[in-house]
Amino acid sequence: KPLGLPGAHVVVTGGSSGIGKCIAIECYKQGAFITLVARNEDKLLQAKKEIEKHSINDKQVVLCISVDVSQDYNQVENVIKQAQEKLGPVDMLVNCAGTSVSGKFEDLEVSTFERLMSINYLGSVYPSRAVITTMKERRVGRIVFVSSQAGQLGLFGFTAYSASKFAIRGLAEALQMEVKPYNVYITVAYPPDTDTPGFAEENRTKPLETRLISETTSVCKPEQVAKQIVKDAIVVTMGLFRTIALFYLGSFDSIVRRCMMQREKSEIANKTA
């Protein structure tokens, strides 16, 4: 059943710029309440003003919270608590905070591998970990992960970036198997190059090979990418290649469901005993 965005609480990490900001606008246009999470407070306020221009009723709210999603789990958990106190339980979380650095393997600092893994991977784990329990209890929720085309294909110059985006896929697929019986749905977006401040920054240091590979496809508009991501999150459909694994996944899902029912039964038995 599609998630209704009117009145829903949508948290967007990386919501102050680029694709994340456009996702926030898209959800706001459909009547959602928004929490924007990013580090820089000026950019957050700027984005809030821009989003508020698209309101469709006078009850809608855009809340801004400044935090680094990649550093400390307890901080991130507190931010989610604050957001829930103001705007109610999170119906949809969009993990869009992320960054990219390109360069040949031997030219990239070792610290860059650590940083990209922290921001792109752990920065998606922490907010998701902070919302999942409530989503399972309410039997309502959507979590969106933003990977990349470079998260499906390892590409020249992206040894650090691609790995951090592949990691997201592993997390998302495993998590989906856990939460499906609770009516919580996970989607992963794999966007191509998109015209954002982050993309402009990335282009300043791109190796020639990476640039030429990138130029074989055209650059998308962030509004267009955001629209697709929101649509996929609301109406969850299955990609074609997923059907191949369908048989296996179906039988794994039934194991998970059976265990859930067994566990609930024995909990009831324990209570009445």
Ligand X SMILES: CCCCCCCCCCCCCCCC(=O)[C@@H](N)CO
| Contact window for ligand X (CB under 6 A) among 76-84, 129-137, 147-155, 176-184 | 147-155
Q: How far is the CB of 193 from ligand X (least distance, A)?
A: 5
In terms of CB distance, is 115 or 180 closer to ligand NDP?
A: 115
Tell me if 213 contacts ligand X by CB under 6 A. yes
How many angstroms separate the CA atoms of 170 and 157, rounded? 22
In terms of CB distance, is 127 or 141 closer to ligand NDP?
A: 127
Tokens of 93: 């979380």
Nearest to 52 by CA among 87, 28, 17: 28
| 43 is a catalytic site residue | no
Active-site residue, from 121, 165, 206, 214 = 165
Q: Write the CB contacts of 62 (distance below 8 Å, at least 6 apart in sequence).
A: 24, 28, 33, 34, 35, 36, 48, 51, 52
Choose from ligand NDP, ligand X, none: what does 153 bind? Cβ within 5-8 Å by kind: ligand X
Choose from ligand X, ligand NDP, none: what does 123 bind? Cβ within 5-8 Å by kind: ligand NDP
Tell me if 98 contacts ligand NDP by CB under 6 A. yes
Cβ-proximal residue to ligand X, closest one:
148
In terms of CB distance, is 40 or 266 closer to ligand NDP?
A: 40
Q: How far is the CB of 75 from ligand NDP (least distance, A)?
A: 10
| 55 is a catalytic site residue | no
**DSSP-derived secondary structure for the chain:** -PPP-TT-EEEEETTTSHHHHHHHHHHHHTT-EEEEEES-HHHHHHHHHHHHTT-SSTT--EEEEE--TTT-HHHHHHHHHHHHHHH-S-SEEEE---------GGGS-HHHHHHHIIIIIIHHHHHHHHHHHHHHHHT-EEEEEE--GGGTS--TT-HHHHHHHHHHHHHHHHHHHHHGGGTEEEEEE----B-SHHHHHHHTS--HHHHHHHTTSPPBPHHHHHHHHHHHHHS----HHHHHTHHHHHHHHHHHHHHHHHHHHHHHHHHH-
| 165 is a catalytic site residue | yes
| Contact window for ligand X (CB under 6 A) among 22-30, 37-45, 134-142, 146-154 | 146-154
Per-residue contact flags (x/-) with ligand NDP for residues 156 to 195, judged by CB under 6 A: -----------------------------------x-xx-
Tell me if 123 contacts ligand NDP by CB under 6 A. yes
In terms of CB distance, is 155 or 179 closer to ligand X?
A: 155
In terms of CB distance, is 155 or 177 closer to ligand X?
A: 155
Binding site for ligand NDP (CB under 6 A): 13-14, 16-20, 38-40, 43, 68-70, 96-100, 119-120, 123, 146, 148, 191, 193-194, 196-199
Q: Which residues are catalytic?
A: 147, 161, 165
